[in-house]
Structure 1
Amino acid sequence: MGTTVRAGMRESRCPAGSWEVVDGRPDQRLRGGVRGYRGYRFGVGHTLRRLEMPIQMVSMVVLFDAPIRMSRGPSATLQCGAGEILVTGLQTQAVFAEHSGRMEAVEVLLSPGMAYRLLGIPMSDIAEAHVSITDLVRGRDARVADRLAAAPDWAARFDVLDDFLLRRCADGRDPDAQVMESWRALQRSSGTDRIRLLRDTAGWSSRHLENRFRQTIGLAPKKAARVFRLQRALSLLAAGTRPSQVAMGSGFSDQAHFSREFKAMTGLTPSQFVAHRDGEPAGSQRLDRVDQQVTSLMLPALSA
């Protein structure tokens, strides 16, 4: 794998030219809520299948080429094709993403608050789901997929995204400030803050806090905390920490609690995750979607 950094972009390419991944930074006015842009181009000649872990961000993917399939099991639950805009809300279970090996797309990673502002819908509408929002984007924005596809290179595509997101951001509704402060508190503690503390700090009842979280974030506070704890555990496991120490360092009550939660959220035991991670080839297989987080595992393709 070859990696270069230039003009605010990081480019990773296969020496044989069968794939490239390009990361770009959004306009500075967007950086509080837009984590980054990533362009993908694959032409590997065989099916690629990944297990995407729950993360604390909303994903928006614009497809230019062949379709991708998203599912929580062997049978695809959604197929999204060229020209469509696919949004994945916050998830508490890992999902499978599969494509034929030929795919071109760009992904935008958003904080839940920014997604709420940009999309103008309750985040509960897309939580635990993959939704095509192509019909939701109207007026001048309705042609954003065409503009992205027609742009001559990744830098130009990222400029189109800046224009699209800045315009929608200007027209969007601010997320609830108290909910966002509670979300940041969960983030700072990696999901270990007690929900009672969030409730008391906000001055709300448990039910009111839950309802406002679902509106702005998509998940109730307890479910959101599970995602933060899982991400902490994944990072520790990937760094070589023993599972018994991971349980203690990630806010789980004991080893059994950690093992149950990990299996429920990823479909794997901690030891299976480590074996998959250690068995991945270097290069494209290790291009996690978020810096310094474990977001993905490359899996064998399903049998025909």
Structure 2
Amino acid sequence: MDDAWDGLGYRERPSRFGQAVVWTRTITGADAGSPVLPDGCIDLLWVGGRLVIAGPDTRAYRPAAMVGTRYAGIRFFPGTAPALLGVPAAELRDQRIELADVWASGTVRRLTEQLAAADDPVLALERIALRRAGEVEPPDPVLRRVVAALDAGWSVAATAEAAGLNARLLHRRALAAFGYGPKTLARVLRMQRALAAARSGVSFADTAAATGFADQAHLAREVRDLTGMPLGQVLTRSAAAVPDEIDLLPAVS
């Protein structure tokens, strides 16, 4: 068995690409059907001999995967993938589509053959991203500042002002870059901050206070609205935690 597939469950590491992590997951009986929570990210997946794009989610996604299904993926941080894929993020929202629906079938066929022959599919996915990044214009750096500001709890108005954009233009840019408007992205990022705190053992009340919710009830409502599950159930059933992006984003002031 290839080293990339050794073990069960979920594993990840920072990607050589930069604004991404790479990960593997083998479905076990314990986590079959575990939801994938909204995180503002787009993933390129290698599963079942296919290259699949997982677009930005607005609700928890429950993959219909059998026990033993193996995934390799590269998860691009918010605003990073559309420039690589050549498609606005809004067109991928809440979607799982074949890469061949976006790129030329001949190109995808060659990449699929490379992945199938690779000793380590994670490294092969990284090579795809790195090669593609050398062929296209990089994402607008203002997008990283937008994500950093929203993730720091800034209001949409303050974020727009800091980015030098009016509210209408920020919304339009956000749809193309993140798949949804800045208010929705802010909600998703705040939920992820709260879940990370709660997973670390912080009480729900203290989590709510530390992450910008009015109170614990507000936190619970937001989690249910974004995931369809109660907060406690999310913490016990959700897939492995999404990587912390704070250290990879520029500070805002």
Normalising by the smaller structure, the TM-score range is: 0.7 to 0.9
Q: 1:268 aligns with which of 200, 215, 229?
A: 229
Superposition deviation, residue 121 in structure 1? 0.8
Structure 2 residue runs without a partner (length 5+): 246-253
Supply the distance in 2 between the matched residues of 1:181 and 1:292 (Cα, whole angstroms): 16
Report what 1:148 is aligned to.
115
Is 1:34 the counterpart of 2:20? The answer is: yes
Superposition deviation, residue 133 in structure 1? 2.1
Q: Would you say the 8 A contact 1:117–1:174 is kept in 2?
A: yes
Superposition deviation, residue 258 in structure 1? 1.8
Secondary structure of the structure 1 residue equivalent to 2:201? coil
Supply the distance in 2 between the matched residues of 1:23 and 1:47 (Cα, whole angstroms): 16
Q: Would you say the 8 A contact 2:55–2:92 is kept in 1?
A: yes
Instruction: Report the TM-score, using the length of structure 1 for normalisation.
Output: 0.70
Supply the distance in 2 between the matched residues of 1:91 and 1:39 (Cα, whole angstroms): 19
- Summarize the alignment of residues 91-130 of structure 1 with structure 2, pairs less than 5 Å apart: 91-130=57-96
Report what 2:100 is aligned to.
134
Secondary structure of the structure 2 residue equivalent to 1:109? strand
Report what 1:3 is aligned to.
none
> Which one-letter code corresponds to 1:38 in the other structure?
W
Superposition deviation, residue 234 in structure 1? 0.8
> Which one-letter code corresponds to 1:39 in the other structure?
T
Supply the distance in 2 between the matched residues of 1:11 and 1:224 (Cα, whole angstroms): 32
Alpha-carbon RMSD: 2.8
Instruction: Report the TM-score, using the length of structure 2 for normalisation.
Output: 0.83
Higher helix share: 2
> Which one-letter code corresponds to 1:241 in the other structure?
V
Q: Which runs of 4+ in 1 moved over 4 A?
A: 9-12, 20-25, 44-47
Is 1:245 the counterpart of 2:209? The answer is: no
Higher strand share: 1
Report what 1:288 is aligned to.
240
Structure 1 residue runs without a partner (length 5+): 1-8, 14-18, 65-82, 278-285, 294-304
Superposition deviation, residue 21 in structure 1? 5.4
Report what 2:56 is aligned to.
90
Superposition deviation, residue 289 in structure 1? 5.5
Report what 1:163 is aligned to.
127
Secondary structure of the structure 2 residue equivalent to 1:204? coil
Q: Deviations over 1:233-258 (max 9, x none)?
A: 11122223222222211111233322
User: Measured at CA, do residues 11 and 23 of structure 1 come closer, stay the same or move farther in structure 2, by a change above 3 Å?
Assistant: farther
Secondary structure of the structure 2 residue equivalent to 1:61? strand
Answer with 1 or 2: which has the greater Rg: 1
Superposition deviation, residue 11 in structure 1? 7.4
User: Measured at CA, do residues 287 and 222 of structure 1 come closer, stay the same or move farther in structure 2, by a change above 3 Å?
Assistant: closer
Supply the distance in 1 between the matched residues of 2:215 and 2:25 (Cα, whole angstroms): 40
User: Measured at CA, do residues 235 and 12 of structure 1 come closer, stay the same or move farther in structure 2, by a change above 3 Å?
Assistant: farther
